[in-house]
Amino acid sequence: MGIQVAIDGPAGAGKSTVAKKAAQAVSFIYVDTGAMYRAMAVHLLRKGITADAPDRIPEGCQDADISIRYENGEQVVLLQGENVNSLIRTEEVSQMASVCSALPEVRAKLLNLQRKLADENDVIMDGRDIGTVILPDAQVKIFLTAGADARAERRYKEQKAKGIDCSYEEIRKEIEERDYRDMHRETSPLKQAEDAVLLDTSFMGPEEAAGAVVDLIRRKVPAE
């Protein structure tokens, strides 16, 4: 079994940026589990299943074939063999991923894939239930968070930089809705594992936060 680093936290806290940088620094693979739920959302939307008809999700998710591979160090998510990386970051997919990830049938489909990756590699895996459910014995567990204002502001700036017209209020509202759904669902809700270290990045840049993660890893798993 490889070394397991679990990073959980709410949407927009910077988990993926920080986890990716830290993974590079310690030469582990980075596994973005949110991207797998997003691929599932694409699968469901393609079947015409939308967030307002969640009763069709348990059946609709059954034939989803989701896997990942690495190209030049980047995680590529495959849905029925197709690279869907360029389709998974829209607002529609974000909302559907949040809705479908609340269902046990969807979580069960992705659990084995996530555990297998952690069995076969040294991983930094990020998500919502990695330290609590997927890798309860991870050597390092981090709950990475930031205030809702800081997260909304980052997302707003990102969208603006991409030339996407958006409103700060709308983004903040969407973040709050997702937080609420992720934290209040019955199956694997987002919560800090008892043995996780809290890392609040509200006033930290990505380099500083990644450095803090690497320090935590090195404290538990010294470099050879």
Give residues 73-102 in contact with ligand DC (rule: CB under 6 A). 97-98, 101
> Interacting stretch for ligand DC, rule CB under 6 A, among 64-72, 123-131, 167-175, 207-215?
123-131
Give residues 160-179 in contact with ligand DC (rule: CB under 6 A). 178
130 CB neighbour count, 10 Å cutoff: 30
| Contact present, 118 and 124 (Cβ < 8 Å) | no
Residue 148: CA atoms inside 13 Å, Cβ hemisphere, count?
13
Shortest CB 223 distance to ligand DC, Å: 28
131 counts as binding ligand DC under rule CB under 6 A: no
Positive or negative, the Cα torsion across 148, 215, 205, 98? negative
| Contact present, 6 and 125 (Cβ < 8 Å) | yes
145 counts as binding ligand DC under rule CB under 6 A: no
> Interacting stretch for ligand DC, rule CB under 6 A, among 59-67, 69-77, 125-133, 146-154?
125-133
Shortest CB 135 distance to ligand DC, Å: 10
Give residues 27-56 in contact with ligand DC (rule: CB under 6 A). 33-34, 37-38
| Contact present, 123 and 19 (Cβ < 8 Å) | no
Positive or negative, the Cα torsion across 175, 177, 180, 183? negative
57 counts as binding ligand DC under rule CB under 6 A: no
127 counts as binding ligand DC under rule CB under 6 A: yes
| Contact present, 114 and 125 (Cβ < 8 Å) | yes
Residues at the contact surface with ligand DC, assessed by CB under 6 A: 11, 33-34, 37-38, 97-98, 101, 127-130, 178, 182
